[in-house]
Amino acid sequence: MAIRGAARGLHIPPRMNPGRPLEIASATTIATVGLAAVASWAGAFVPGLYAEDALAAAMRGQDVATLIVLPLLIIALHRMKRGSPRATVVWIGLLGYLLYTYAGAAFAYHFNRLFLVYVAVFSLSAIAVWTALSGIHPVEIQRRFGPGAPRRAAAVFAAAIAIMLGVSELAQIVPALAAGRVPELIARSQGAGNFVYVLDLGVVAPLAVLAAVWLWRASPWGDVLGAIILIKATTMGFALLAMTWFAVRAGQPLERGLTIAYGVMALGSLVMSIWFLRTRTASPIAPSARLDAWLPDAPFRDTIVVESPASPPRLMRALEEVTLRDMPLASLLGKIRYLPALFGSKEAARRAQLELDRPFIAGVAAGKGQVFLARAPDEVVLGTVGKLHQIRDQEFAEVATTADFAAFAQPNHERLAMSIRAVPGDHGTLLALEHRTQPTDADARRRFARYWLAIRPGGALVTRQLLKAVARRAERAAGAPQSSTQLSN
């Protein structure tokens, strides 16, 4: 069964807001796109529209970039209406690009036949941005982005954007003020460059700083503003490259340093945007209350969920019976550090290989450093303690009882708690494996953070194999169609 279709049937994406603000923002976006299409097409292809001698070619380059942005904006608007949080922030970010662009056109371009169109696009895009921000739910957007979003990295990048803008603009303004002259950009553009300094120093750079602070603090508005800044930086970076290309083709000299800076800004912002906005489907199941009792604030966590038509009791019984031989590619899985031994060493891999026919739960529980934290009809919770950040030997600690697990505080170790549970859902049973890792000190946290980046994709793959194997065994026992589907990770 197709994963995406089944997941959509179960996990309905939340609507950002069905009320008036987003209706206004949607309508004004459509009007903005129509008028901007007219203005950018005319700027790119109508000869003599621009009277600016030095900047006319660059302005046509920006018009071409805008023509590329407009269909992306319509796509983002459509997906926003379907409930996508990522499309929502992309939509607002692209509106921010239009607002910036046509603020310059309305306030700085020489008067031409499209002046009223520039004013209309500026006004409509401002209304669209304002009403869109008024209508969204930042807490819900942050929840859908998930705890794995690279907020700290995005914060550093947003701060770098603010610093880059501030340094580059002030490096032109301060020497000019000291020498009693006009900055080159303003002189070359006959005053039109004023708006660049005003918007970059007065609006974009402060917003980038604010986004960096909010992202670092994991504020919900940080996810929204940070994503908007990244989208704005991406579009503006590529627009600057297009402007440079058209200017060079018109015979103007290539400024290599600035061109390289534009390229770094465009590509860096694009990569960071993809990284920040990449798909991390929110879990359709609430966090485990039993895990909350043991590791409520663990910084490293993940949840994998599959759906099965089998009943919760059958799934939990299959969990007690499933072996590595029930899983596809069993010989490969025998060499993979398995849950919780997948965070493990050669000894863990050897044990997994030798115990292909041993029930998974029994094999894990029998290992050194493992303890049952809870056992219930619908859930099993296992605990592990060791130097889980080490690749070759994780030095599992002795934790004979739950009290040993709770009290363990030796430095340079991590505590791992793993829950496997079966919960009734709207279209079947949700079989979920949720795990959390809590380092015992700052050094362990830094070491495990590096390890986590490498191990998480493989861990998710192995976890899905386990859950699907459990579901298949339960469905065979029940005579049900084998249709388990992955819902999240």
pLDDT at 280 over 50: yes
pLDDT in tens, 22-45: 899 999 999 999 999 999 999 999
**How far is residue 290 from each of residues 282, 302, 313, 418, measured CA to CA in Å?**
20, 15, 18, 10
Above 80 in pLDDT, residue 349? Answer: no
Nearest CA among 59, 19, 308, 268 for reference residue 161: 268
Cβ-contact 278, 89 below 8 angstroms? no
pLDDT value of position 28: 95
Can you give the pLDDT at residue 8? 28
Read off the pLDDT of residues 83-108 as tens digits, 9 standing for 90 and up: 788 899 999 999 999 999 999 899 88
Q: What's residue 264's pLDDT?
A: 87
pLDDT for 12 equals 30
pLDDT exceeds cutoff 90 at 393 = no
* Residue 230 burial (CB count, 10 A): 29
C-beta separation of 100 from 66 below 8 A: no
Query: What does the alpha-carbon distance between residue 268 and residue 231 come to, in Å, rounded to a whole number?
Result: 11
Half-sphere exposure of 238 (CA within 13 A, CB side): 19
- pLDDT of residue 2 exceeding 50: no
Q: What percent of the chain has pLDDT over 90?
A: 37
Average pLDDT over residues 197-201: 87
Compute CA distances 246 → 15, 59, 175, 231, 308, whole Å. 42, 8, 29, 23, 57
Q: Is the pLDDT of residue 327 over 90?
A: no
Q: Which of 258-262, 265-269, 353-357, 457-461 has the lowest mean pLDDT?
A: 353-357
Q: How confident is the model at residue 438 (pLDDT cuts 50, 70, 90)?
A: very high
Query: What average pLDDT does this structure show over 167-187?
Result: 82
Cα distances from 168 to residues 68, 96, 160, 200, in angstroms, run 27, 21, 12, 10
- Who contacts 5 (Cβ-Cβ below 8 Å, separation ≥6)? none
Locate 449 and state its tokens.
Answer: 């953070």
**Most confident region among 72-76, 82-86, 139-143, 366-370 by mean pLDDT:** 72-76
Lowest mean pLDDT among 178-187, 231-240, 374-383: 178-187
How high is the pLDDT of residue 129?
Answer: 95
Most confident range, picked from 346-355, 389-398, 465-474: 465-474
Average pLDDT in the 245-252 region? Answer: 88
290 and 374 Cβ atoms separated by less than 8 Å? yes
Burial of 13-44, coded b for 16+ CB within 10 Å and e otherwise, reads: eeebbeeebbebbbebbeebbebbeebbebbb
User: Regarding beta strands 300-308 and 370-376, do their DSSP bridges make them parallel or antiparallel, or are they unpaired?
Assistant: unpaired
- For residue 343, what pLDDT is reported? 43
> Residue 14 pLDDT more than 50?
no
State how far the alpha carbon of 50 is from the alpha carbons of 43, 112, 191, 451, in Å.
7, 7, 15, 56
214 contact partners, CB below 8 Å, separation of at least 6: 221, 222, 225, 226
Evaluate if residue 176 carries a pLDDT over 80. Answer: yes
- Comparing CA positions, the residue from 140, 127, 139, 2 lying closest to residue 83 is 140
In the numeric block, which tokens belong to residue 342? 């997948």
- The answer on pLDDT for 304 being more than 90 is no
- Which range scores top for mean pLDDT: 8-17, 223-232, 395-404, 461-470? 223-232
CATH says 289-488 is which class? Answer: alpha beta
- The domain locations on the chain are 3-277, 289-488
131 pLDDT exceeds 60? yes
Which 3-state string (H, E, C) describes 229-265?
HHHHHHHHHHHHHHHHHHHHHCCCCCCHHHHHHHHHH
73 closest CA partner among 136, 134, 117, 125? 125
- How large a percentage of the chain has pLDDT more than 70? 82
Q: What is the pLDDT of residue 420?
A: 92
DSSP labels for 445-463?
Answer: HHHHHHHHHHHHHHHHHHH
What does the pLDDT average to over 419-436? 88
Q: How many CB atoms lie within 10 A of CB 152?
A: 12
Which of 11-20, 84-93, 194-203, 211-220 is the least confident region?
A: 11-20
The number of residues in the chain equals: 489
pLDDT the model gives residue 353: 54
Is residue 152 scored above 70 in pLDDT?
Answer: yes
Residue 72 has phi, psi (to 5 degrees) of -65, -35
Q: Which of 126-130, 420-424, 446-450 has the highest mean pLDDT?
A: 126-130
Lowest pLDDT segment from 111-115, 173-177, 414-418: 173-177
For 395, the 3-state DSSP assignment is: coil
